[in-house]
Amino acid sequence: MPSKELLEILRCPNCVREKTGLLTLHKDAWLVCAECGRKYPILDDIPVMLIDEGDKWVSTPVENLPVPPPEGK
C-alpha cells in the first residue's frame, strides 16, 4: 500500500484542474475519484494514475472491482 503521505496528496488527474479530485482508498488496492468515478489500480504499491487507466474502470461498480487489480485490462 502507498504511504499515507502519498495518499493525502494524490488527486484524480482528470478532475484536479477544475475540482478537488479527491480520491478514496478502496480495499488497499484502488483509488476512487469521488467526483468522476474513475478508479485507479494500485499495482506493487504504486498507484497507476493514468487517465486512460481510470477510464477502463469508470463503469465498474466499486463493489465489483477485482482485488488485487489485474496487471492489464
pTM attached to this predicted model: 0.90
Q: What angle do CA 47, 9, 36 make, to 5 degrees?
A: 70
Percent of the residues in the chain that have a pLDDT greater than 90, as a whole number: 84
Please report the pLDDT score of residue 10 as a whole number: 95
User: How far, in Å, CA of 56 to CA of 64, rounded?
Assistant: 13
Domains of the chain: 4-64 (2.20.25)
Residue entry with cell 485507479: 40
User: How far, in Å, CA of 24 to CA of 13, rounded?
Assistant: 14
Task: Write the single-letter amino acid at 30.
Answer: W
User: How far, in Å, CA of 17 to CA of 62, rounded?
Assistant: 24
pLDDT tens digits, 42-58: 999 999 999 999 999 99
